[in-house]
Structure 1
Amino acid sequence: MTISSVASAKPNTISLSLYRAVWRWHFFAGLLVIPFMLNLAITGGLYLFNDEIDNTVFAYRNVVEPNGTALAPSLLTETAKAALPGSKVLRYRAPAEPSQSVRVVVGTKAGKTYVFLNPYTGAVLGTVAEKEEFNWVVKKIHSLEYFGLPFNRIVEAVGGLALILVVTGFYLWWPRKQTGGVVSVRGTPQKRVFWRDLHAVTGAGAGALIFFLAISGLPWSGYWGDKANSVLANAGLGYPTQLWDEVPSSEVPTKDVLTNAGWTVENAPVPTSSPSNASPVGLDSIVASANAAGLTPGFEVSLPSGKTGVYTAAIFPDDIAKQRTIHYDQYSGKPLIDLKFGDYGAGAKAMEFGIGVHMGQYYGVVNQIVMLMTCLAIILTSVTAVVMWWKRRPSGRLGVPPMPTQKSVFAVLTLVILGFGVLFPLTGFAILAMLILDQLLTRIPSPLKRVFS
């Protein structure tokens, strides 16, 4: 072999090693996340249509016939309380439309319960424990919070790994003089190439949207989301912390007093009422004040907890520009803090926009359909990945893609991926754990070495 031929072969060797290194990490990431991605796609697709589900499947408790003037909120909450003797009224949600029911959240020894009432007659339309309400369950399973904090942390790691999957997947899909598998699918379902091409074409076509769903979902994650919220707030890019400078505040975060608090304000402290011998102004007065202030219909009001508690009226509608939270002194009825979307910093506005699109709220039914199609693409890429792997793997072995001949290429790519893990620590820990396991299994002789090859 001549010197020139050796020189020309080196780039090809590096290119092949890089391809194998990317493929290996794509395989590892997929191995970790596919079951969780399927859960995210299925539950996310359902939650996109939470309002539609409420108004059809559960119309018996959410939809009413408009009939005259609505009853006073105080009367409706007393009716809800009477429906569950010994309960305590925690929150009142006004109807978003004349044809919508009122929802009252009450606390019982068994936990929170939703009571749905006809606002015109006061009739109780239904009750359901919070942890049994369909959309609540779907949302909590989506984040795996339904199964406890450790599982919620897993989803956060999955979000970061999904970003790696998309980027490495694009590299593997990138055209390299092949005649198929770029925009067309070769072969038949009996052949592995069919599933490979279907996986690649679907992933490439929906990759940008899958990337968007993964990164826009991370703000809701328990660890990274809270840290991002704090960083933005401290940098003046989140909720305006200066609004709290002149009011006494509690250590209770806003998310603890509302059924669904917006991402920007969920960790903002709830202010306190000034102690007084006077009686609280009452729910009717607060609802009237919230209406007069221009809160979008459908807002929720949380009632004071204790002598220093406040009334909190808040709305986080599909139109993010109409988000608003007002905390009222329970004795004077005066607003202590009135936080509008326009008061948010640039970072918070960007986050809220991403979250709104992620949840199919911002552009109406078009937004819902696009996000649903992305969820279906995630399901298809996950299923095709499993079928493709099953057809490729050697009998009795996991079929991990071969290690690159140029080990330095794999090492450099691994450092890049671990660097990504610095931005998303829980993802970084998952990557590091997989790397350590991989090295142990490939370097230490054991029966598992053959299985994991």
Structure 2
Amino acid sequence: MTDNSLPFDAASAATGKPAVYDRRFYLAAWRWHFYAGLFIIPFLLILSVTGMMMMYIGYFDGRDGENITVPVPASVSAMAVSRQAELAAEAIPGGTVVEWLSPKAVDRVAVFRVKAPDGVQTMVAIDPYTGGVVETWVRRNGWYDFADNIHSDLLLGTPGDRILEIAAGLGIVMLISGVYLWWPRGQRLRDCLVPAFGQSGRAFLKSLHTVIGIWVSFFLLLFLLSGMSWTGVWGTKLVQAWNTFPAEKWDNVPLSDETHASMNHGAMSDVPWALEQTLMPASGSQAGVVGIAPGTPVDIDSVSSLAKAAGFNARYRVAYPKGETGVWTINQDTMSADAEDPFSDRTVHVDRYTGRVLANVGFADYSLAGKTMAVSIPLHMGLTGLWNLALNTLVCLSVQFLCISGVLMWWTRRPSKAAPRFFAPQVPENRPHWRGAMVLMLAVSMAFPLAGLTLVTVLALDLLILSKVPVLRRVFA
């Protein structure tokens, strides 16, 4: 089938002769746009829906109980953090406190993560003024976490992670091919940025799909790249591995065998992206600089005082030492909803025996990629303010519209009721031009290994089977 809406360039319009090369390249880009979209549409819908769930649950309820409020007495000050910790531990028989989340404001609860003897971790919200237990819940076991687990790996573990990495890579191919299809050819740029409200039916749907797609393309690219940076191959093996903060910057500090990623819990990341693969410092030496005054007990009270003296404000988290060489870790980062300013991200490690500061890493210490991730991840998660939540909501709804409208345009494009339902854009004639377009698409996609492997597979299937078997060629050509 020939699509009469295919473009001609300005020179061709003047001469009345069709732009054969442009038309063939357009057809090739259209075919790749179709194939990439066909694969990723269900995943984009899943990601956009679960992403909105996480944003709104986090905004209204809070991810870790940070939005639970308590009355503020007029003449009573907050209890010592150590006493609050004792009361939190008593709420869970045999429990041991492993983390404290400081109150976000004076009218908010303090939250403690308590580990039971059987390994189950429970969050305990404490009224800092009365010491009463306000609420308890099993950590990472709520609706937010359910949506996050789907968003991270489709509840399939490593296979799900790989599927989403492929989908994100193909999403970038779809974006590039989509921009090429949108590119003005003999039209005013203004007309390409505003829907054709004078049209109706499929023509109007196509115009709306194209215009919304170009407006949302930058934000979708940001979402795809920042999301892919957490994936197991492109993210962990290629990008993160080369942009991890080097532990060697900590002068003469003994290092643990564990990385910062050991502080994570399931699909949820609790430490900055730039530090995940960095080795943790180890306690038990005279390394570092003076933090807690010599002779002062190194406990949650002195560590919290050190945090305030070091400039931590709003909400921050203190992880207790794990093992004999473990360290106290004070951390504040925007991706964990601690603050709305990613430039204030900071991680401090304190020797559990001497109280000396072994490491102090802030936003300025990250690599360029680390800084980019520190900013883009909170933007991705809608954590930098109400404006961010509103913008991300608009992007998610736009992505859902693009997926649904893309399916509708494909469904209504079949040449007749008797034609095959599964109709793909035709294979261009004079294939050298088409192959050149495929080489360009593959060159872009090969930057993302799993997506590149998938496209090579589709290319081989298209060339060796779909275009050779008559019945399949009638369906796909």
Given candidates 460, 467, 475, the residue that maps to 1:436 is 460
In the alignment, the residues of structure 2 paired with residue 153 and residue 197 of structure 1 have an alpha-carbon distance, to the nearest angstrom, of: 33
Query: Which residue does 1:89 correspond to in 2?
Result: 97
In the alignment, the residues of structure 2 paired with residue 71 and residue 39 of structure 1 have an alpha-carbon distance, to the nearest angstrom, of: 44
1:207 is the counterpart of 2:217 = yes
Given candidates 245, 250, 255, the residue that maps to 1:244 is 250
Given candidates 310, 313, 319, the residue that maps to 2:341 is 319
TM-fit CA distance, 1:200: 1.2
TM-fit CA distance, 1:137: 2.7
Query: Which residue does 1:78 correspond to in 2?
Result: 86
Matches for 1:199-348 after TM superposition, within 5 Å: 199-226=209-236, 227-233=238-244, 239-257=245-263, 260-274=270-284, 281-316=298-333, 317-348=339-370
Query: Which residue does 1:417 correspond to in 2?
Result: 441
CA contact (8 A) 2:212 2:398 kept: yes
1:369 is the counterpart of 2:390 = yes
CA spacing shift, 1:10–1:442, aligned 2, 3 Å: farther
Under a length normalisation based on structure 1, what TM-score does the superposition of the two structures give?
Answer: 0.87
TM-fit CA distance, 1:11: 7.0
CA contact (8 A) 2:109 2:126 kept: yes
In the alignment, the residues of structure 2 paired with residue 52 and residue 201 of structure 1 have an alpha-carbon distance, to the nearest angstrom, of: 30
Query: Which residue does 1:144 correspond to in 2?
Result: 153
TM-fit CA distance, 1:333: 1.5
Structure 1 gap segments, 5+ residues each: 234-238
Given candidates 184, 193, 196, the residue that maps to 1:185 is 196
Query: Which residue does 2:291 correspond to in 1?
Result: none
CA spacing shift, 1:63–1:450, aligned 2, 3 Å: farther
In the alignment, the residues of structure 2 paired with residue 199 and residue 114 of structure 1 have an alpha-carbon distance, to the nearest angstrom, of: 45
TM-fit CA distance, 1:444: 4.8
In the alignment, the residues of structure 1 paired with residue 439 and residue 229 of structure 2 have an alpha-carbon distance, to the nearest angstrom, of: 25
Q: In the TM superposition, what whole-angstrom CA distance separates every residue of 1:191-222 from its partner, at most 9, and x where no partner exists?
A: 32232222112112222222222223332323
Matches for 1:101-120 after TM superposition, within 5 Å: 101-108=109-116, 109=118, 111-120=120-129
In the alignment, the residues of structure 2 paired with residue 82 and residue 27 of structure 1 have an alpha-carbon distance, to the nearest angstrom, of: 59
* One-letter amino acid matched to 2:303: I
CA contact (8 A) 1:185 1:201 kept: no
TM-fit CA distance, 1:424: 1.3
Matched position secondary structure for 1:143: helix
In the alignment, the residues of structure 2 paired with residue 200 and residue 129 of structure 1 have an alpha-carbon distance, to the nearest angstrom, of: 45
Matched position secondary structure for 1:328: strand
Query: Which residue does 1:405 correspond to in 2?
Result: 429
1:169 is the counterpart of 2:178 = yes
In the alignment, the residues of structure 1 paired with residue 65 and residue 166 of structure 2 have an alpha-carbon distance, to the nearest angstrom, of: 37
In the alignment, the residues of structure 2 paired with residue 450 and residue 9 of structure 1 have an alpha-carbon distance, to the nearest angstrom, of: 31
Q: In the TM superposition, what whole-angstrom CA distance separates every residue of 1:340-382 from its partner, at most 9, and x where no partner exists?
A: 22222333223322223323334x3223222221111111111
TM-fit CA distance, 1:291: 1.6
TM-fit CA distance, 1:188: 7.4
In the alignment, the residues of structure 2 paired with residue 106 and residue 126 of structure 1 have an alpha-carbon distance, to the nearest angstrom, of: 13
Query: Which residue does 1:352 correspond to in 2?
Result: 374
Structure 2 gap segments, 5+ residues each: 1-11, 287-294, 334-338
CA contact (8 A) 1:14 1:406 kept: no
TM-fit CA distance, 1:263: 1.4
* One-letter amino acid matched to 2:280: V
TM-fit CA distance, 1:407: 1.1
Q: In the TM superposition, what whole-angstrom CA distance separates every residue of 1:388-433 from its partner, at most 9, and x where no partner exists?
A: 1111236443111100112112211222222223321122122222
TM-fit CA distance, 1:447: 6.0
CA spacing shift, 1:113–1:448, aligned 2, 3 Å: farther
In the alignment, the residues of structure 2 paired with residue 376 and residue 266 of structure 1 have an alpha-carbon distance, to the nearest angstrom, of: 32
CA contact (8 A) 1:175 1:182 kept: no
TM-fit CA distance, 1:325: 0.6
Q: In the TM superposition, what whole-angstrom CA distance separates every residue of 1:204-259 from its partner, at most 9, and x where no partner exists?
A: 222222222222333232322222122124xxxxx253333411111222132256
Query: Which residue does 1:39 correspond to in 2?
Result: 46
In the alignment, the residues of structure 2 paired with residue 65 and residue 208 of structure 1 have an alpha-carbon distance, to the nearest angstrom, of: 44
Query: Which residue does 1:236 correspond to in 2?
Result: none
* Cα RMSD for the two superposed structures: 3.0
Q: In the TM superposition, what whole-angstrom CA distance separates every residue of 1:63-86 from its partner, at most 9, and x where no partner exists?
A: 222233222222222222222213
TM-fit CA distance, 1:385: 0.6
Which deviates more, 392-401 or 299-308? 392-401
Whose helix proportion is higher, 1 or 2? Answer: 1
Query: Which residue does 2:451 correspond to in 1?
Result: 427
Query: Which residue does 2:414 correspond to in 1?
Result: 393
Matched position secondary structure for 1:337: strand
Number of residue pairs aligned between Structure 1 and Structure 2: 438
Matched position secondary structure for 1:85: coil
In the alignment, the residues of structure 2 paired with residue 420 and residue 340 of structure 1 have an alpha-carbon distance, to the nearest angstrom, of: 34
- Identity level (%): 32
Query: Which residue does 2:8 correspond to in 1?
Result: none
Matched position secondary structure for 2:243: helix
CA spacing shift, 1:443–1:52, aligned 2, 3 Å: closer
